[in-house]
Amino acid sequence: MVLEAVVVCLDNSEWSRNGDFAPSRWDSQIDAANIICEAKTQQNPENTLGIMAYAGRRVDIKLTQTNDIGLLLNAINTIEINGEADFFTAVKVSQLSLKHRQNKTQRQRIILFVGHPLKEEEEQFEELGIRMKRNNVALDVINFAHPENVPKLQSLIRACNNNGNSHFLDVPLGVAMITDVLIASPIINQEDESVPNMGGVANAGAGAGLGNAGPSRFQEYGGVDPNLDPDLAMALRISLEEERARQAQPSADVPVVQQEQQPAGVDQQMADVQEEEEYDEEEILAQAKLLSMQQEQQNAESGANQQQQQQQQQTQFSELMNNDFVGQLVADLNLDLNQDDIDNLISEINAPKKDEEQKKKEEEDKK
């Protein structure tokens, strides 16, 4: 259910002394307020309510937001009849008290009892409703014994209504108690706000006592109000749940049947996927072999280049090692060497070159 913070505003003006409701307007109003408090606390344990009396010298908040049903009932019974009521001030003060609620996730709602004639113009009620809608405050208004208030209060509810969250209930003369009409109204039995309810306006006919209660509000009970016949409503609810379970059972077998009737093309698709994977593996192996051969070729070319460079260096060195160069070197170093020693030194330096040339000749002869 919806989490709400509610302010219940009671009309304790001198008009409440009239005895056209049993036992009086005031006593009938107290009984209705008690039912509202009990219903709201049962719908959600975290719902909170406050109590206000809006007649007399000023509006009086008897109890701030609480979910203690004992404190709520005690606060209602302490209110006394006094003076004239101020409807507009009651709505504005209630909206201000809801603004300072502790739990900001609670939706704001004001429930007002109206048992006195309203003097303000209809345009003023529309402006008040627009203000409440702008501040996300829902209104439930219960008018009794004053049919001249109906057009004004309907304008207020239409201006404030947002997706069916506000309601108007008119209790005409001829109904014994306010609770007879209230107990079947959407003020007590919360509706799904996603379902429109013709602007949230309920108008009870004389002696009907059913507000705008319809079968759509009790669909889970087969259209029967559980407050009027709980045994029948519970039996219909169980029957409907069994029917829904029976209808949902065949749908649970559908996935199994679909799985058994898979097309034969699935196997072919799996085979194609395997062939593509094998083809990818062969292509990867071929690329690896090609890279390996290229690397070996590069290594062979680099080895040949290094050998050629070494041969060129040895050739350049051997060309320098002639008699003139060595003789000049011996003279610069002041070495005591004769010509024979110089010739032997040159021959030893050139010996590796000769050996390499001889080896190449031998290899060529073998070929």
- Average pLDDT, stretch 308-325? 63
Confidence label for 198 from pLDDT (cuts 50, 70 and 90): very low
* Token pair 């196997």: residue: 267
Q: Are 217 and 189 in contact (CB under 8 A)?
A: yes
* Cis amide bond preceding 263, omega within 30: no
Burial of 43: CB neighbours in 10 Å, binned 0-12, 13-18, 19+: middle
Secondary structure (DSSP) of 157-185: HHHH-SSS--EEEEE-TT-S-HHHHHTTS
75: nearest Cα among 65, 86, 88? 65
Would you say 17 and 25 are in contact if contact means Cβ atoms under 8 Å apart? yes
* CA 142/CA 171 separation, integer angstroms: 7
Single pTM value for the model: 0.55
Question: Model confidence at 364, in pLDDT bands (50, 70, 90)?
Answer: confident
C-beta separation of 35 from 183 below 8 A: yes
Q: Which residue has the higher pLDDT, 354 or 52?
A: 52
Q: 211: helix, coil or strand?
A: coil
Rounded Cα gap, residues 159 and 328, in angstroms: 122
Q: What is the CA radius of gyration of the chain?
A: 52
363: its two tokens: 């290899």
Rounded CA gap, 9 and 345, in Å? 129
In this structure, are residues 141 and 156 in contact, taking their beta carbons and an 8 Å threshold?
yes
Helix, coil or strand: residue 69: helix
What pLDDT, on a 0 to 100 scale, did the predictor assign at position 192? 45
Model pLDDT, residue 40: 93
Residue 90: which of 60, 50, 125, 127 has the closest Cα? Answer: 60
| Burial profile 277-291: b = 16 or more Cβ within 10 angstroms, e = fewer | eeeeeeeeeeeeeee
* Average pLDDT score over the chain: 78
